[in-house]
Structures are given as structure tokens and as C-alpha cells.
Chains A and B, each alone.
Chain A
Amino acid sequence: MRVPDALRFASYAAIGSPVRTALLVLAMAIGVASVVVLTALGDGARRYVVDEFSAIGTNLVIVLPGRSETRGFNPANLVTSTPRDLTVNDAEALLRLAGVKRVSPLVVATTEIKASGKLRESILIGTNADYIQLRNLKLSLGRFLANTEFGGGSPEVVLGAVIRKELFGTENPIGKSVRIGDRKYRVVGVLAEGGRGLGISSDDVAIVPINSAQAMLNTNTLFRILIEAHSREQINPVKSRVLKTIIARHEGEEDVTVIAQDAVLQTFDKILNVLTLGIAGIAAISLAVAGILVMNVMLVSVTQRTAEIGLLKALGATTRAVQQLFLFEALLLSVAGAVVGVGFGYLGAAFLRYLYPTFPAYPPLWAVLAGLGIALVAGLVFGVMPARNAAKLDAIQALSRK
């Protein structure tokens, strides 16, 4: 018996009982779709985190005040428990290190911003002129903070897109003054919409020079120091140089934590990949269930179609031909289910992206291929037993059953 004929016969057999076929295809489709959607979720989470981290900039080394590691008991810990402040001077010192391209000190606070009688809560960021390149931010209007190195700083502010809209509407805000806290600032620029990083949208910020921010908040401490290395290879050397410099400046005390964006990125990437794999594994269970369902339905189908099987044998069908017909039918059902399932899965992922536009829920290709593959194998494995049962059927008994 020729393969195309067997395929055609099997597909007619499948179409011949539409309800059974539809339900079976649906079961398999749900299995495959769940693999596709769940891996899209897992991989989306991975991408989201990785994107958030890359969005802060490239080749970044970040200095945080305080120690996040413990290295056993040290009597010094008892004496000096408060860490030294991370200061603008520390940041200035880091700029002179080899391999360092840019340094931005960072102060962050929530504040209220007023203009033309409107009041709005916003996130105040105090930093320097390098911040815009370091963070890869884009301007839609005007310019960024003037390059005043670390000193001085005229009272100017760069607004996030949403703040600007809420305070000024469609009006051009450049040159207008806003009041932040008890100080007046001149608006010199507006950030482009959609910038983000570490979960903070840059639409809601007001960026002012570091000095005025520190003066306003009455503090010397920095929230972070962001350092951009010249290249990827420089990240680790820069990281150790930064740590050494800060320790030297802080009287030999290691009271800061230096992290490389790259390392964090890789760790998250690894963790979330494993998570996605785990999710895919769980989803694959539903595929196995669907496979068993295929077997069950095919077994029932064999008993329902005994007369037909007997007839085929009487007409000269070999054992192999009968096996082939039933195996092909199981395979066709599985493949149809898998294809429909991939469609459902992509739809589901698209729906997720529609609900959460910032969440990149794209199913990874490997998961789609694995879903299809497992469905195929399930159809094959679980189709074998019914097919063998069909082939073993005694033709006379099969024919005599009405």
C-alpha cells in the first residue's frame, strides 16, 4: 500500500467522525498551546529582566553604599557599624581610573513639582551631564544638563515626557520655570517617551544637577555611582579598581558593594532560563496526557471499526497495511492538534503582550519545535498499541460482528 493512499485513507477516517477528531485535536492542541504559552511567559520574564538591566546602559559597573556580603565575623564590624557615605568626591576620584569612560553620581528621591499652579508627584534624580549617554536616554526637546563636571550646576531641570504633558500640556516648556521643593528651576529639556530601566519609567522623572539635588535633600550621600567602562573586557578590571579606590578613600574599610551589570545579567539569564525549562517540562505533562488520550480514543476506534478492519483484511490488506492505517490516523490527529496548538499558543502569547505591552511574551523557537516534536512522538508512541490491536484482529470475528 502506497504511503499517500494510506495517509488519505487515514485522514478520511479521521474526518469521518468529526466530533471525536475535533475533541482529540483540541486535547492535543491544549497540550501544545500550554507549552507554547508557558514558555512564552518564562522566556518573556527572562527577556523582561534582561532588557530592564540592559536598559540602564552598557558595560556598567554600579557602586552601592553598604556591604551586601558578609565575610565572617570581624571585630571591626562591632566598632564601626555605619558605613561611610558615598560622596560626590568618590565619584570624581573614580573618573580618573584607567578604563573608565563616564561616571555619574546618582541621588534619587520622591518630590513634588509645581508649575503654573499645578502640582505633581515625581521622582527627583540628581546627577551630572554624562547621565544621558550613560543611560542611553533620548531627548525630545531642548538639551540635557550642562556639563559642569561635579561642581556648581545652575538651577536647571530636564523633565520626563509624562510630567511635561501633565504640567504644560502641549505648550513648549523650554525656558519656563518649575518649582521643586522650595527652589525654582528652569526647564532646559524634555526626555523622549518610553525610556525605562530597573522598573522606573523615565517618563515620571525630573532630573536636576547633583549639587542642587543634594542641597535640596540636605544630604551628602549618593544613592549610586554608575560607571561606564570603555569596553566589555574592561568591566572586571574596572570593577576591582573601583573597589580598591573606594576602600582606599574610606580608610581601608570595604563599605560599598560593586556589581558589574554583565554578571548580574548573566545570572538572571541563567536562572530564568532554567525556570523556563522547568515550566516547559510541566507543560509537557499535558502533552503526555493528550498522548494517552489519543491512544484511548484510537483503541475505542479500533473496537468500533472491527467490521471495517475485517473487511480490509478480506480485501487483501496485510497486517502491516492495517497497522499503517491506524498509526497514520493517530499521527495525523496528533500533528493536526500540534499545529492548531502552536496557533493557539501564538495567539495566547499575543494576547499576553496585548494585556501587558511591556512584557515581551514571545514563545522561544526551541519550545515551539519541542512542542511539535513531542506531540509527534506522542502520536507515534501512543498510536502503536491501537494499531497493533487492529492488525491482530481476527478477520472472521471482525466481519461477523454486525
Chain B
Amino acid sequence: MTEADTLIRLAHIGRTFYLGDAQVHALRDINLNIQQGEYIAVMGPSGSGKSTLLNVLGLLDRADAGVYHLAGRDVTTLAADEQARVRSEHVGFIFQSFHLVPRLTAAANIELPLMLAGINPDERAQRVKQVLHDYGLDARAEHRPNELSGGQRQRVAIARATVMQPTLLLADEPTGNLDKVTGEEVVALLEALNGQGVTLIVVTHDQSLGARARRQIKMDDGAIVSDTAASVIVGATRDEST
């Protein structure tokens, strides 16, 4: 593992919310290195700060303290529109409640990030078609979200998150609104993407889903309480050194 492969480097990241007079430390002194292509599950009880961590990683939220390097670039203090560009180019989000725009067809929902990035219509149409085909949604292209099953909706959402070919895929309880079988399918899909080299970070309550990840991070009260990678990576470096 070399320095160049490090996709994410968080150093002493802190995030504090103010609820009235009370201070809530959503993140306390988080130090985390994530390599390109990792598959990570972030777990912990409600309010442990795992969603905040995901938001900070996706540049939707800004840390109060610390430094965040994404793909070798310091993104901690980027202006809002710069952050939007980074999100557009590097980050794909997948939400528990899918967040599809109800009035738009599946194809139009998938097209959104391409449209926002200002890609020309011909290329957009081509890429959307490709992605629809890849996710087995050809027949559903012109359906609106309310005409789709939960699994299909989440597949559309994943298609939308990956159509810009991001390096980082952030999923917040991606199976939370799905039954067990469809949940399995969606996870398989995400894992396949990870197999193609996309860095996958999943926030979940689900122990069995978390267990499938190669690296588990457990959080509590805004801090990382355990990280299986610490040993794995150390092990890996040891392997290389020997």
C-alpha cells in the first residue's frame, strides 16, 4: 500500500452541533485512512455520529476541526461550489429512502447528475442507456418511481449514484427500506461495484450486512471505538515487509 492509494485521510476531525445551549459532539477527533477500493461498514448505535461521518466524507457537512484529504487534495476549506464539483465528480450517494424525484422517470432521475455537471445531451443519453442496461432497468426507463418496486427504486438510485463514475460510494442504510431478498440483491450490486474498484462505505445498523464488509468501523458517541483495518493494514504492511 502506497501513499498514492490513500483515497481518504481524516486527521483530528471534529464536528459539534449546538442544540440550544447544549453542545453535541457528533464527531470527536476522528483519524481515519481509507484506501482506494476498500469496502467499509460503519456501525454503531443511533446518534453515534456515523451519519455525520458519512456527510463529512461526502462534503455535505463541514468539519469544525481537523483536516480532510480526498484523493490527495485538502478539501477541508473548499468553497461551497468547489465542494459541489468534488461531489459531482468523486462521490455517489445512496440513501435509505432512495430520494428519487417523484415526477421524473427512472431515466431522468439517473440523468440528473449528468445534467447538473453540464454534460451534453447526446453523451448523457448514451451513458444513461448504458447504466440502465447494466442494472437491468431497460424496461423500466420510462417508469416513474411510484411505478417501481422498492428494489427497482434502489437500483435506480444506485445507477444515479454511479453514472458519474465516482471513486467513492457512500451508502446510508441502503437496505433499510427493503425486504430481506431485495436487500440481498442491492448489497450484491454494491459489492459488485466495489469489486470493480469503487470505494464503498456503508453506514448500517444491520450486523449481518456490516459483517460482509472487509473492514468494520464501530462508532460510539462521536468517536471510533474499533476499526478492524488497524490490524488488517498493519498485517498487510507486515506481509509486504516480510
Contacts and interface: CB of A to CB of B under 8 A. Distances in A.
A5 interface: yes
A347 B28 CA distance: 68
Nearest to A320: B81
Place the interface of chain A in its size category. Answer: 20 to 34
B99 A316 contact: no
Nearest to B103: A16
Place the interface of chain B in its size category. Answer: 20 to 34
B87 A316 contact: yes
A12 B104 contact: yes
Interface string B76-87: 000011001101
Given A313-B60, A395-B60, A399-B95, A318 B81 contact: yes
A314 interface: yes
A314 B93 CA distance: 7
A291 B66 CA distance: 47
Contacts of B85: 316, 318
Interface in A6-29: 9, 12-13, 15-16
A222 interface: no
B101 interface: yes
B165 interface: no
B118 A316 contact: no
Interface stretch (A68-76, A249-257, A304-312): A304-312
A212 interface: no
A314 B115 contact: no
Interface string B143-182: 0000000000000000010001000000000000000000
Contacts of B93: 314-315
Contact of B116 (A310, A321, A399, A402): A321
Interface string A300-334: 00000001101111111111110000000000000
A313 B84 contact: yes
B29 interface: no
Contact of B89 (A12, A13, A16, A316): A316
A2 interface: yes
B97 interface: yes
Contact of A318 (B84, B104, B108): B84
Given A16-B103, A317-B84, A312 B112 contact: yes
10 contacts: A1-B116, A5-B121, A312-B112, A313-B60, A314-B60, A315-B93, A315-B112, A316-B84, A318-B85, A399-B60
6 tightest A-B CB contacts, nearest first:
A316-B88, A16-B103, A318-B84, A318-B81, A315-B113, A316-B87
